[in-house]
Amino acid sequence: MKRLHVHIGVEDLAGSVEFYTILFGEKPTLEKSDYAKWLLDDPRVNFVVSTHGGNRIGIDHLGIQVDSSDELTEITARLEAADKGMFRQNQATCCYVVSDKAWVADPQGTPWETFYSYADKTVYGDDTIVSADVPRLVEASAENQSDSSTCCRP
């Protein structure tokens, strides 16, 4: 089963956690000093706020979380068929988990990730590619497919 993913970059994590806890009617599923995540079933969403948005306050990226590598393969095949360019990551340590991912940008340049998370980590991730230009990154990665990881940031 798939779950929508929304990652919002914030300056005031404590204030954001308080606001979204009230909005969702429940405390975060995971809360760290720089990150909070709600895994909600109604609506079915993986909602994250973090201070890792760099200069990007507000929506950092959107995504679809899947429950299996087979579901990830299915979505990845559809993205490949759309021929919009895609950047793959395997064993990416990000947001306190290890995931396999595929990144793509929509026609407006909004970053989208599809991912399957399969292990917990004690770190947020320190392997960020310093670039918010998803279309250019996707284009470059098509020439040089790499398994290098980034942390919630294409």
Model confidence at 86: pLDDT above 90: no
In a domain, 38, yes or no: yes
Calpha distance 82→77 (Å, rounded):
9
Rounded average pLDDT over 15-40? 96
In a domain, 73, yes or no: yes
In a domain, 149, yes or no: no
In a domain, 154, yes or no: no
In a domain, 28, yes or no: yes
Tell me the residue range of the domain where 79 lies. 3-143
Per-residue pLDDT tens digits for 47-60: 999 997 655 788 88
3-state per-residue secondary structure call for 66-116: ECCHHHHHHHHHHHHHHCCCCEEEEEEEECCEEEEEEEEECCCCCEEEEEE
Model confidence at 142: pLDDT above 50: no
Per-residue pLDDT tens digits for 87-140: 888 888 776 778 888 888 888 888 888 889 888 766 656 444 333 445 444 444
In a domain, 150, yes or no: no
In a domain, 118, yes or no: yes
- Report the SS3 class of residue 33: coil
CATH assignment at residue 127? 3.10.180.10
Calpha distance 106→84 (Å, rounded):
8
Question: What's the structural domain count of the chain?
Answer: 1
In a domain, 62, yes or no: yes
